[in-house]
Chain A
């Protein structure tokens, strides 16, 4: 069902035709992306943010940490898979050690004991794996409900969702409950960041797009991206 949403989004985004010039070459579908962005923003303002804010107000921080850890633990298994796919075996073994320790000693993942033992949490997904294999990001996309993405990461996100262990949970109402809780937790964790974005940006769409593209590039290279040529090559002197 969620795969369906992601794929439909992708198809819709690719179907939209790029036309006139003077557009950012990384974002040929800007008009379509902007309208999906406005739609997402509405959904976020009307539903996601109020729910997340209430959640943060009602549920104590200590409990929210447990919830974050629980879902983090579920994610660690495929983070490990992606590290293996990228040839980073030490990291992959570390991720799986995290799952082993946190699931047992950490009581189904609600305590992140592995971090205290020195197994650091990583950030990996299929989009990053494709990037590591040499796939270019392709055009920037805004996916309905899911937000910032690009062609490469959109396909990656499809796979992330397809392989998500939560998809195996039965009965269905439990599965959907867990998805809902995870979304709420994630949105609550981002409340401060999204407020800062709101304040910092002249044009939220552009600011968020550029931040997304920079962030993903950094993640693909695990924080050490090679120097990128600026579109305007020469930078002015730093001390005018």
Chain B
């Protein structure tokens, strides 16, 4: 019994050693990726006095560098638009994706700015190694309240695992934009939606009104 366990752990060690040199960022398992990026970003913010005292441009820069590479924005935009996506021209698709990305980054920055030392519970991934579409679950723990679940829907691509939807407390970000987007498209077409998003982004870049 004892011997068998020894052999097994030796084998496991060997396997780890054998495969480690091959592991690149692209091969990082999705749950590990989410954990590393989350902890890295939170740590960078904690260390950065300027960001903590409200330097939004710097926070957005940090998100651009650390978080954005792991998102598939054209997939998110396509899912949020539903059928209208297929009717859009390549140029419209490009502009929609750009504007939607900008909006999501602004929103994400606000969410991060509100972060205050909550603890994370990274759930073990329940997926087969062959799966190419998984949900990575994280829970944000806070005193005296139910933990807030954050689920990342991720898809395996040539460039590593990419997020294509985020669910916060059971609310899918992509699904939540679908009605809004479709309402605007129905009223003023895809160009109308591009304009609408661009105007929204400009209003967010303007200095926030004192409240």
Give the CA-CA distance A120 to B121 in the complex, in Å: 13
B144 at interface (Cβ–Cβ under 8 A)?
yes
Q: Chain A 201-240 against B: per-residue CB contact (8 Å), 1 yes, 0 no?
A: 1110011001100110111000101000010101111111
Q: When the two chains form their complex, are residues A236 and B179 in contact, meaning their CB atoms are under 8 A apart?
A: no
Query: Does A90 count as interface, using CB distance less than 8 angstroms?
Result: no
Q: CB within 8 A of A219: which of B82, B145, B170?
A: B170
> Which DSSP category, helix, strand, loop or mixed, fits chain B's interface?
helix
Q: Among A33-41, A131-139, A167-175, A191-199, which stretch is in contact with chain B? A: A191-199
Given the known interface contacts A199-B110, A218-B170, A238-B155, the answer about A122 and B146 at a Cβ–Cβ threshold of 8 Å is yes
Q: Tell me if B169 and A202 are in contact (CB < 8 A).
A: no
CB-contacts of B100-125 with A (<8 A): 103, 106-107, 110-111, 114, 116
Segment touching A, from B1-9, B18-26, B73-81: B73-81
Interface residue? A72 (CB, 8 A): yes
Contacts of A49 in B (CB 8 A): 211
The CA-CA distance from A65 to B114 in the complex, in Å, is: 16
Interface centre among B169, B178, B183 (most CB of A within 10 A): B169
Is B13 an interface residue when CB atoms closer than 8 A count as contact? Answer: no
Nearest-neighbour CB distance to chain B for A6, whole angstroms, equals: 23
Residues B128-180 near A (CB distance < 8 A): 143-147, 149, 155, 157, 164, 169-172, 175-180
Contact B78 A238 (CB under 8 A): yes
A68 within 8 A of B: yes
**Contact among B78, B155, B172 with A236 in the assembled complex (CB-CB below 8 Å):** B78
Report the minimum CB–CB distance from A167 to chain B (whole Å).
Answer: 21
Return A192 CB to nearest CB of chain B, in Å: 4
Min CB distance, B16 to chain A, in Å? Answer: 32
Across the interface, which residues of A come within 8 angstroms of B72, CB to CB? 238-239
Cβ of A120 to closest chain B Cβ, rounded Å: 7
Among the listed A68, A196, A206, A230, which residue makes an inter-chain contact with B111, where contact means beta carbons less than 8 Å apart?
Answer: A196
Tell yes or no: B95 within 8 A of A by CB: no
Give A239 to B211 CA distance when docked, in angstroms.
42
Interface size class of B (residues with CB under 8 A): 35 or more
Which residues A108-132 have CB closer than 8 A to chain B?
A: 112, 115, 120-123
Which residue, of B144, B145, B147, B172, has the highest number of chain A Cβ atoms within 10 A?
B144
Partner of B78, one of A202, A219, A237: A237
Asked if B179 and A210 sit within 8 Å, CB to CB, the answer is yes
Q: Is B200 an interface residue (CB 8 A)?
A: yes
User: Are A207 and B176 interface neighbours, CB within 8 A?
Assistant: yes
**Complex interface bits, A1-16 against B, C-beta within 8 A gives 1, otherwise 0:** 0000000000000000
Whole-angstrom distance between the Cβ of B159 and the nearest chain A Cβ: 11
A235 pairs with B79, CB closer than 8 A: yes
Residues on A with beta carbons closer than 8 Å to the beta carbon of B196: 202
18 contacts between A and B (CB under 8 A): A65-B143, A68-B144, A120-B146, A120-B147, A121-B144, A192-B111, A199-B106, A199-B110, A200-B107, A202-B197, A210-B178, A211-B171, A214-B172, A215-B170, A235-B78, A239-B75, A239-B157, A240-B75
Given A72-B144, A239-B72, 7 more contacts at CB 8 Å?
A195-B110, A203-B183, A210-B179, A211-B171, A215-B170, A235-B78, A236-B78
Listed in ascending order, the chain A residues whose CB lies under 8 Å from chain B are 24, 49, 53, 61, 65, 68-69, 72, 112, 115, 120-123, 189, 192-193, 195-196, 199-203, 206-207, 210-211, 214-215, 217-219, 223, 225, 230, 232, 234-240
